[in-house]
Amino acid sequence: MTDRTCLTIVLAAGEGTRMKSATPKVLHKVAGLPMVGHVAKAALAAGGGDVAVVVGRGADEVRSAIKPFAPGVETFVQTERLGTGHAVLAARAAIERGYDDILVMFGDAPLIEADSLIRARQLIANGNAVVVVGFRTAEPAGYGRLIEAGGALMAIREDKDCTYEERKIGYCNGGLMALDGRKALSLLDRVGNSNAKGEYYLTDIVEIANAQGLKVASTQASFEALLGVNNRAELAEAEAIWQRRARRKAMLDGVTMIAPETVFLSHDTQIGADTIVEPHVVFGPGARIAGNVTIHSFSHIEDADVAEAAEIGPYARLRPGAKLGKKSKVGNFVEIKKADIADGAKVNHLTYIGDAEIGAGANIGAGTITCNYDGYNKHVTRIGAGAFIGSNSSLVAPVTIGVDAYVASGSVITGDVPDEALAFGRARQDVKPGRAKELRAKYAAEKARRSGKQG
């Protein structure tokens, strides 16, 4: 389809009152991406070219959600809600520029796949003026029926207007439509509003095209692909469907998921082959995992890069800016933020590493923290290759620990440590013989006094 121009019109002006939210409906997220972003991604994957979004409120936010995928996205405001036909014509200025194909999509249908859009565009290229994407269901009640004759689509009949025989039809309107760009405006301008609601229905375009002797066809997609989201329950259903698809694709691409139903991916998660993902792992946006990585249970990874053969968790958290080198290890109850953990370095347990550079082969003991924030600014900790940081150490940034240096357990390090040096940053131990017995007697007496006063 690369030889044909295409305009995608995304209808995103619905108020979404059933979401019961101050956020415009199409900005509610599935897999960490606003629904309207999923729609734009699918359209562009199908060669959707230029994108025009018809919005009501939240125009700037909707534009921002699409811009990463379509930098030239245009927004058109529908000031009145007079039906889907009226909404499409809000983008008249874009339609008038002239395109071979026009895709009309809904911003609250995040599960549509590029293959369905490509088939619709191909049917336009084959000479159809209008193509409707439909689905088949054993329970069609409530949906508009696609009325066909001789292999052509003759009309879309709303459920309430169907005859007894038409109600038996299981082929239903999915809402998505493709139009011949050269004929679109002449068809859209003929859509009237002589109905009970006084609205302009895009679906009327099918009968208008047939009346002009133009070819009209349909193509079929799955019910799931055309699922529209109107409330929080349907949003959760869309999330579940998206996750199931993404997990399956990851596993077919060579990723092992021991309990896939407990793993949650983001819209842009990347995981290499031979990686093992244990139960209850969450990937936030921006997780990039190389091959042959092991991710243990209850780990959370967001906006982080993990190199080959690294090991993570269990109960590890990689926050934005975390970078793990080859064969590095971030163990249980470890948090990494904006830090570079070089090849072979180990941060095994109960540790916070933030705004830091950890050299190759370094070992960070349990309970170590990089004190990177002074209440106003963040500062960097640098730990050289091969360095050993003893357990329960606090490294007060900015500070540099040299190559092969050693920090004794329990130290508070406030100054730089040279290469191969040993640093102590703790008070000297002082032992007082017999004082334990005296302290117990003292504390017991104090407790007895307090109990007597309370009585």
pLDDT tens digits for 408-427?
999 999 999 999 999 999 88
Q: Are residues 89 and 24 in the same domain?
A: yes
Residue 431 resides in a domain:
no
- In this prediction, residue 243 carries a pLDDT of 98
Residue 430 resides in a domain:
no
Residue in 267, 300, 349, 379 annotated catalytic: 349
Q: Please report which confidence band the pLDDT of residue 16 belongs to, taking 50, 70 and 90 as the band edges.
A: confident
Residue 183 resides in a domain:
yes
Residue 135 resides in a domain:
yes
Q: Are residues 198 and 83 in the same domain?
A: yes
Q: Are residues 16 and 107 in the same domain?
A: yes
Give residues with Cβ within 8 angstroms of 47, minimum separation 6. 1, 2, 4, 6, 118, 121
DSSP 262: G
Average pLDDT of the residues in 280-296: 98
379 is catalytic: no
Work out the mean pLDDT of the chain and round it to a whole number: 94
- In this prediction, residue 455 carries a pLDDT of 63
Q: Are residues 211 and 289 in the same domain?
A: no
Strands (E), 250-396: 256-257, 270-271, 276-277, 282-283, 288-289, 294-295, 300-301, 305-306, 311-312, 317-318, 323-324, 329-341, 346-358, 363-364, 369-371, 381-383, 388-389, 394-396
Least trusted range by pLDDT, from 56-65, 232-241, 381-390, 395-404: 56-65
Left, alpha or beta for 98 (phi > 0: left; psi -120 to 50: alpha)?
left
pTM for the structure as a whole: 0.89
Q: Are residues 390 and 339 in the same domain?
A: yes
Q: Are residues 46 and 132 in the same domain?
A: yes
Q: Are residues 216 and 301 in the same domain?
A: no
Residue 437 resides in a domain:
no
Domain of residue 407, CATH code: 2.160.10.10
Give residues with Cβ within 8 angstroms of 377, minimum separation 6. none
Q: Are residues 19 and 92 in the same domain?
A: yes
Residue with tokens 């229905």: 201
Residue 99 resides in a domain:
yes
pLDDT one-digit tens code per residue, 174-221: 999 999 999 999 999 999 888 777 889 999 999 999 999 999 999 999
Quote the number of domains for the chain.
2
Q: Are residues 222 and 255 in the same domain?
A: no
Residue 341's domain comprises 250-423
Q: Which two tokens stand for residue 360?
A: 């190759």
Residue 239 resides in a domain:
no
Residue 33 contacts residue 71 (beta carbons within 8 Å)? no
Average pLDDT of the residues in 299-328: 98
Q: Phi and psi (nearest 5°) for 62?
A: -65, -45
Q: Are residues 199 and 156 in the same domain?
A: yes
Residue 266 contacts residue 286 (beta carbons within 8 Å)? yes
Domain of residue 194, CATH code: 3.90.550.10
Q: Are residues 152 and 275 in the same domain?
A: no
Q: Are residues 49 and 130 in the same domain?
A: yes
pLDDT one-digit tens code per residue, 121-159: 999 999 999 999 999 999 999 899 999 998 899 999 988
- In this prediction, residue 1 carries a pLDDT of 62
Residue 74 resides in a domain:
yes
